[in-house]
Structure 1
Amino acid sequence: MSTRPDRRTGAEPPASAGRSDRYLNRELSWLAFNDRVLAEAGNPNYPLLERLRFLAISAANLDEFMMIRAAGLVGQVQRGIARVSIDGRTPAQQLAEVRALVDDLTDRQQGAWRVLRRQLADSGIHIADEQRVTEEAYHWLRTYFVDEIIPVLTPQAIDPAHPFPFVANRGMGLLFNLTRQSDGARVIEMVLIPAALKRYVRVPGREAIYVSIEALISRFADHMFPGFTITGGGAFRVLRDSDIEIEEEAEDLVRTFRSAIQRRRRGQVIQLELEEGFDPVGEALLREQLGASAGTVVKTEGLIGLVGLEEIVREDRPDLKFDPYTPRYPERILEHDGDCFAAIREKDIVIHHPYESFEVVVDFIRQAAADPDVVAVKQTLYRAGNQSQVIAGLIAAAEAGKSVTAVVELKARFDEEQNLLWASQLERAGVQVIYGFVDLKTHAKVAMVVRREGDGYRTYCHFGTGNYHPVTARIYTDLSFFTADPQLGRDAARLFNYVTGYVEPRGTEALAISPIDLREELYSAIDGEIANAEAGRPAAIWLKCNQITDQGMIDRLYAASQAGVEVELMVRGICSLRAGVPGLSDNIRVKSIIGRFLEHSRIYAFANGAPMPSDDALVFISSADLMGRNLNRRVEALVPIRNRTVHDQVLKQVLLANLLDTEQSWMMQPDGSYRRAGEGAEGGSRNFNLHRYFMTNPSLSGRGEALERGEVPTLRLAQEPR
């Protein structure tokens, strides 16, 4: 039996530190994940515009990686930090490998773009194709440019009298080398493209012809520079360090974040992207003025800023998109005439997004606002979107005289400004707004409603695996668990007291909460499986999450494998654990599912002495991934599922469907690479698409009775996982 990590901290034994044969690098694992996303841009089973969407998603992912993860490595190298990663690489070594892989990934993105561009053209959608612009279209574009674009642009000369302009993060612009026709004087002009302008202009007409904004500016630049001859130039794009660091002794968190957001806009340039053939004089100027070293300059032979292609996906071509899908409203709520509280009182409910509508979560808050017997509403808000009905519900509850508390997390990356706005609106309505801890993010997804019933009060709770975000709830697969269980209600109150008043929730009755005891609860469950395996009883672990990077958790799973526990890991993104390594992880299998919907729910299940999947299994849902940040530096909730119907729905439908999927699954190999699961290979004896399954079968919330009536296909393992 291998030495196990410390139960409290998750630290691994010193002898195993820094071993690349034992752990996979976090940054390289993320790039491998984005490679899988990019592969979907070439998936022949997807409609063309959906493939273009995957290309844009891959580009957006890479932007964020550069702004946060690569920027962090750059900062460590600049500060001389030599601390090695989990796999033994120094920051400098990681940065060198990251840059090489990013260059390769960028080249393959451009290759995917060239293929899709041709295929879309064959289907009547022409993007950045100047040859398609007729004389009539040319005149329309010129008029549009003069009337609509020029008034928004501000050309600026670059000379001693005109300081070099600030280029915002993700900002695009063009540089022009000009020669004045009257005297031959040379001038350099910069034109920054305002973020408010669309990236692509669609030429009017039945045929879809899109011209990029940078091509439009280049084509009609003579209208901005009369009397000059354009001798060179090109388009460029800038990415900056966008991480926000907050000092623990910050006295005013709101003011500190407003200041930090301003600093982020002016972060160090991490990447300067140039069109191939960019004017050498202009390139030298940009390098100098932006502080871009040679290692941060990327010359793109193709289209810069591929993320902008998302605009093209909106083209009205249903034949080139997935068939429309409308989420179902949960039957259990409809059976009670829309009364959420009556339905939850009857028994616990689990809702499966996006197959079932997020509107039920909004209705839970709306009903609380309108119900005269509701006395208090409390809710955590991590990401709520920019058009949130949940916020409107909380405001309505406060205006109706309820006691309303909102825990608004200011440290939600890239949502800081939106969350500050929501906090201001909530406070004006009379909501008690709490910002939580300076050094911990409140990432738990919890809402509780206290209602006067009879001679006392009943607490209704919502626990989620995803954010209270109406937009992402349509494309992320998540679980919403509604319960009136008194133990969970009391624990939810303890969690809120922890965040609002720093009252540490020791001795909870059902919930495990990080950073208090969530790690300990999972360790205990894993140890239980190890004990069962050693005693000759059935032992298995099924875990579904987004990332696994915590060294202590990985070592615990290795120990389980070595004890004979069958471990099935469904990890969409980063995974630092190596699967199938002889003597280390023979009994561990890792799969990543990439498809129409983004797998986001976190589900943790343990056999508990019976063959999986069984009624005896321990099943939890959570807001937490298995990362050090979730287990040590965030407030998270681990929720036990004890209601028999919900237990079966989560284990024998959601989790099992993920395990059985073959059409959208990628299997990790012992060297850390991934390959697509084939028909009948590792995960089932037939092709199975879990997204299609849940789109075409009755909704999860009504599945208890539907299963009994035989209306839902029963998911079964065709064979033992191995």
Structure 2
Amino acid sequence: MIPSDFLTAPFPRPVEMNVDGPNRFFNRELSWLAFNWRVLQEAENTRVPLLERLRFLSISATNLDEFYTVRVAGLRELAQAGNTTAAADGLTPAEQLKLINADARRLMERQQKVYQALIDAMRDTEIHVLDRSMLTEADRAYLEDVFLEQVFPILTPLAIDPAHPFPFIPNTGFSLALQLERRSDKRRLQALLPVPAQTDRFVRLPADDGVARFLPLEELLLLHLQRLFPGYALTGSCTFRVLRDSDLEVEDEAEDLVREFEIALKRRRRGEVVRLKISAGAPAPLRAIIKRELGVGEEEIIEIDGLIGVADLKELVLDERPDLLWPSFTPRVPERVQDHEGDMFAAIRQKDMLLHHPYETFDMVVRFLQQAARDPDVVAIKQTLYRTSTQSPIVDALCEAAEDGKSVTALVELKARFDEAANIRQSRKLERAGAHVVYGFVAYKTHAKISSVVRREGTRLVTYTHWGTGNYHPITARIYTDLSMFTCSKALGRDATRVFNYLSGYAHPEVLENLSISPSGMKEQLIELIEAEAENARAGRPAAIWAKMNALIEYDVIDALYAASQAGVKVSLVIRGICGLKPGIAGLSENIRVKSIVGRFLEHSRIACFGNGADLPSERARVFFSSADWMGRNLKRRVETLIECHNPTVKAQIVSQIMAANMADTAQSWVLQPDGTFTRYPPDEDGYAFSCHRFFMENPSLSGRGSAGAADVPHLAHAKD
């Protein structure tokens, strides 16, 4: 059963704090860095399997790189242009950059310490990361063949002199800089050796069974410099890596949007350098020429005493060592689908079905579209695609349907950051198959997750729809927690058609029956729902809000939550990443508590529950799920959906199972303090901590149960209305 400790525990004693004006908000960028600190701290968590800790370390580095290439790049551009406009928290771009760079430097220093600790621990489990000095003669002989056959053909050594100007180093480019001296006449040479991205960062060496030995690629290159610069001796070297501004600028009036994005993607590779990582102790002449040629200032240079490219450590997460990984987990097939022998349409006709990924398999979403593609009674399919896999079974199903003569419309979002090129390829594949491909709006991203299938049943057309909180991406669906609802509700079917017509024809729907969308309507509805709870509290009725999302940074919504708290509404939030709201402050937010869950799975679902005159959980609650976080970009600059759930089983699943377990989690939860720090829950006196991830792995979802029934599924009993 789900423990109710978090649900019944009193709210913390409020703290007195100056929250006048912008002081009532946390800075968005510093809040994001705090989230990445929590990711890094999972790499230090000894309750996490060793190689999963290495994965967390790699993720923290990947996150930080993307943060710099997008968010910091934008702030840097504003600061260089002399923009002194303060953010909602009162900080100018230059002030934010100063604080970000200081915190990020501390974070990178900590990454190196964690890396060394993990390498030491891995050595005790017979996984070794070596350097050149540790190699045996047999190793050197083996590496000679590896170098000549697998690496040498793709290397391009580059001299640096007046006849050979400093080469272009692309975004995320990693290179060796070399000082060389010709043995015959002592003539000096400076050179670059870009490390090819087309090969693995770590070279595996032969070893006994149960032992894994790796050599970083740069060590292999230094070992074989004589093959690249015969007659020269190495007198000094360093490694460096560049990050460039990766934000895209697209002309609003572009006649050919696909072509415009292709040009913008090429510009991205050549964006200005926003950060240079270089080996600590690099020879001064090499450091000076790299700095000069890349056009960076000292504030953009990070000296690394350790491994440059921590993100590449994901290569060392070895599937062959299950003893050092999370226990294996196979997502469940919903029993109701099994009862109907895999027929998705029959399972949906029985009643609405909500799946909780990755605990229930995302294969059901794929099966839904594959079945639609092959069903002769299906006449039309409409689908949004924001991010999807390179070899996408969903895109394949849409192509199959189009080739079979069905009417297929695919809304492909070209502005899905870092997936633009993949989405262009997918759109062209769909067009070749005969699908109608649209790209939505230039000014807005289409982030809504909708699939609509129109099926002829007798003399009528029935619309089956899928609504999700996550992307149609079978790979990320294995680790992202998301909701998928399948329904043949007539109202939601009509709403889906209206949204697709809006996306393809730009005509905003005059009415939506069970749905609100952004950029118009959703924010207003959320604030109305929050204000309704505040009115309940002022009238002496129970008033509560539970919400779960990735980020909360829309300041009008935060102010509405503050007002609700002041009216007496009990607000409990699960926010994985950025949070601009300050909880637990006397006179402002004493009735608000915020936690962040960071663990085996990436929390990604967006849920909002409003007591509606009752405490939570309750059958009277109004329950919603959404594709949108509560951020300005989601509520003002994206097409998003907010769906209200009416099916009693679906509502109970969300409120009394999913949200209750998230609220009760202590194993993976960090509680946000009024000063912006996070405190981890300690285990109880018996050493036990409740994990919502473990609970969901062990217990089926309520609405996915078939003939076995849902009565025996653990969930929190409904509170009295």
Would you call these one fold, judging by a TM-score over 0.5? Answer: yes
Which residue of the partner structure matches residue 702 of structure 1?
A: 704
> Is the CA contact (8 Å cut-off) linking 1:352 and 1:700 kept in structure 2?
no
Which residue of the partner structure matches residue 213 of structure 2?
A: 209
Alignment deviations for residues 214-263 of structure 1 (CA, whole Å, 9 cap, x no partner): 11111221221111111112111111110112232222211111111000
- Give the structure-1-normalised TM-score: 0.95
SS of the equivalent of 2:472 reads coil
**Distance (whole Å) between structure 2 residues aligned to residue 475 and residue 295 of structure 1:** 36
**Distance (whole Å) between structure 1 residues aligned to residue 133 and residue 322 of structure 2:** 26
Unaligned runs of 5+ in 1: 1-15
Which residue of the partner structure matches residue 469 of structure 1?
A: 473
> Is the CA contact (8 Å cut-off) linking 1:18 and 1:87 kept in structure 2?
no
The residue correspondences of 1:339-350 to structure 2 (distance < 5 A) are: 339-350=343-354
Which residue of the partner structure matches residue 673 of structure 1?
A: 677
> Is the CA contact (8 Å cut-off) linking 1:460 and 1:484 kept in structure 2?
yes
Alignment deviations for residues 83-116 of structure 1 (CA, whole Å, 9 cap, x no partner): 1111100000000000000000000111110110
Structure 1 counterpart of 2:294, from 290, 293, 300 = 290
Which residue of the partner structure matches residue 5 of structure 1?
A: none
Counterpart check, 1:619 vs 2:620: no
How many angstroms does 1:20 deviate by?
Answer: 4.6
Unaligned runs of 5+ in 2: 1-17
SS of the equivalent of 1:698 reads coil
How many angstroms does 1:148 deviate by?
Answer: 1.9
* Pair 1:461–1:274, CA change in 2 (3 A): same
**Distance (whole Å) between structure 2 residues aligned to residue 609 and residue 25 of structure 1:** 34
Structure 2 counterpart of 1:397, from 384, 398, 401 = 401
* Pair 1:652–1:400, CA change in 2 (3 A): same
**Distance (whole Å) between structure 2 residues aligned to residue 416 and residue 337 of structure 1:** 38
Structure 2 counterpart of 1:77, from 51, 76, 79 = 79
Structure 2 counterpart of 1:159, from 158, 161, 168 = 161
Alignment deviations for residues 455-501 of structure 1 (CA, whole Å, 9 cap, x no partner): 11110000000000011000000010000000000001010011100
**Distance (whole Å) between structure 1 residues aligned to residue 693 and residue 467 of structure 2:** 23
SS of the equivalent of 1:169 reads coil
Worse overlay, 124-133 or 101-110: 124-133
Alignment deviations for residues 640-689 of structure 1 (CA, whole Å, 9 cap, x no partner): 110011111111111111001000000000111101022359xx997310
Which residue of the partner structure matches residue 100 of structure 1?
A: 102
Which residue of the partner structure matches residue 361 of structure 2?
A: 357
Structure 1 counterpart of 2:595, from 588, 591, 595 = 591
Alignment deviations for residues 166-224 of structure 1 (CA, whole Å, 9 cap, x no partner): 11111101111111222222111111112101000010123211110111111221221
> Is the CA contact (8 Å cut-off) linking 1:541 and 1:566 kept in structure 2?
yes
**Distance (whole Å) between structure 2 residues aligned to residue 93 and residue 719 of structure 1:** 50
Structure 2 counterpart of 1:489, from 477, 493, 497 = 493
Which residue of the partner structure matches residue 536 of structure 2?
A: 532
SS of the equivalent of 2:502 reads helix
**Distance (whole Å) between structure 2 residues aligned to residue 624 and residue 70 of structure 1:** 23
Structure 2 counterpart of 1:431, from 429, 435, 439 = 435
Worse overlay, 605-614 or 177-186: 177-186
Counterpart check, 1:150 vs 2:152: yes
Structure 2 counterpart of 1:40, from 32, 39, 42 = 42
Which residue of the partner structure matches residue 547 of structure 2?
A: 543
Which residue of the partner structure matches residue 506 of structure 1?
A: 510
**Distance (whole Å) between structure 2 residues aligned to residue 133 and residue 655 of structure 1:** 53
Which residue of the partner structure matches residue 329 of structure 1?
A: 333
Worse overlay, 142-151 or 338-347: 142-151
What count of residue pairs does the alignment treat as equivalent? 702
The residue correspondences of 1:147-226 to structure 2 (distance < 5 A) are: 147-206=149-208, 207-226=211-230
Please tell me the residue identity of whatever aligns with 1:493.
T
Which residue of the partner structure matches residue 7 of structure 1?
A: none
> Is the CA contact (8 Å cut-off) linking 2:248 and 2:265 kept in structure 1?
yes
**Distance (whole Å) between structure 2 residues aligned to residue 139 and residue 531 of structure 1:** 77
Which residue of the partner structure matches residue 90 of structure 1?
A: 92
* Pair 1:719–1:367, CA change in 2 (3 A): closer
Which residue of the partner structure matches residue 121 of structure 1?
A: 123
Counterpart check, 1:456 vs 2:457: no
Alignment deviations for residues 518-564 of structure 1 (CA, whole Å, 9 cap, x no partner): 11111111111011001011100000000000010100000100000
Which residue of the partner structure matches residue 55 of structure 1?
A: 57
Which residue of the partner structure matches residue 11 of structure 2?
A: none
Counterpart check, 1:269 vs 2:273: yes
> Is the CA contact (8 Å cut-off) linking 2:407 and 2:435 kept in structure 1?
yes
**Distance (whole Å) between structure 2 residues aligned to residue 679 and residue 561 of structure 1:** 29
**Distance (whole Å) between structure 2 residues aligned to residue 36 and residue 98 of structure 1:** 16
**Distance (whole Å) between structure 2 residues aligned to residue 132 and residue 152 of structure 1:** 26
How many angstroms does 1:352 deviate by?
Answer: 0.8
* Pair 1:718–1:279, CA change in 2 (3 A): farther
Say which structure, 1 or 2, has more relative contact order (CA 8 Å, 6+ apart).
Answer: 2
Worse overlay, 71-80 or 691-700: 691-700
Percentage of identical aligned residues: 53
How many angstroms does 1:389 deviate by?
Answer: 0.6
Please tell me the residue identity of whatever aligns with 1:158.
I
Please tell me the residue identity of whatever aligns with 2:321.
R
**Distance (whole Å) between structure 1 residues aligned to residue 97 and residue 71 of structure 2:** 10
Alignment root-mean-square deviation, CA? 1.9
**Distance (whole Å) between structure 2 residues aligned to residue 368 and residue 416 of structure 1:** 27
How many angstroms does 1:19 deviate by?
Answer: 3.8
**Distance (whole Å) between structure 1 residues aligned to residue 718 and residue 351 of structure 2:** 28
* Pair 1:617–1:260, CA change in 2 (3 A): same
Which residue of the partner structure matches residue 554 of structure 1?
A: 558
How many angstroms does 1:130 deviate by?
Answer: 4.2
How many angstroms does 1:145 deviate by?
Answer: 1.2
Please tell me the residue identity of whatever aligns with 2:301.
V
SS of the equivalent of 1:242 reads coil
**Distance (whole Å) between structure 2 residues aligned to residue 281 and residue 562 of structure 1:** 61
**Distance (whole Å) between structure 1 residues aligned to residue 578 and residue 538 of structure 2:** 30
Counterpart check, 1:417 vs 2:418: no
> Is the CA contact (8 Å cut-off) linking 1:707 and 1:714 kept in structure 2?
no
SS of the equivalent of 2:70 reads helix
**Distance (whole Å) between structure 2 residues aligned to residue 640 and residue 83 of structure 1:** 38
* Pair 1:604–1:77, CA change in 2 (3 A): same
Structure 2 counterpart of 1:134, from 110, 133, 136 = 136
Please tell me the residue identity of whatever aligns with 1:657.
A
Alignment deviations for residues 589-611 of structure 1 (CA, whole Å, 9 cap, x no partner): 00000000000000011000012
Which residue of the partner structure matches residue 715 of structure 1?
A: 716
Please tell me the residue identity of whatever aligns with 1:201.
V
* Pair 1:554–1:530, CA change in 2 (3 A): same
Which residue of the partner structure matches residue 12 of structure 1?
A: none
- Give the structure-2-normalised TM-score: 0.95
**Distance (whole Å) between structure 1 residues aligned to residue 688 and residue 319 of structure 2:** 36
How many angstroms does 1:707 deviate by?
Answer: 6.5
**Distance (whole Å) between structure 1 residues aligned to residue 708 and residue 574 of structure 2:** 27
**Distance (whole Å) between structure 2 residues aligned to residue 246 and residue 189 of structure 1:** 37
SS of the equivalent of 1:21 reads helix
Worse overlay, 686-695 or 429-438: 686-695
**Distance (whole Å) between structure 1 residues aligned to residue 99 and residue 635 of structure 2:** 28
**Distance (whole Å) between structure 1 residues aligned to residue 469 and residue 28 of structure 2:** 23
SS of the equivalent of 1:702 reads coil
SS of the equivalent of 2:35 reads helix
How many angstroms does 1:438 deviate by?
Answer: 0.2
Please tell me the residue identity of whatever aligns with 2:57.
L
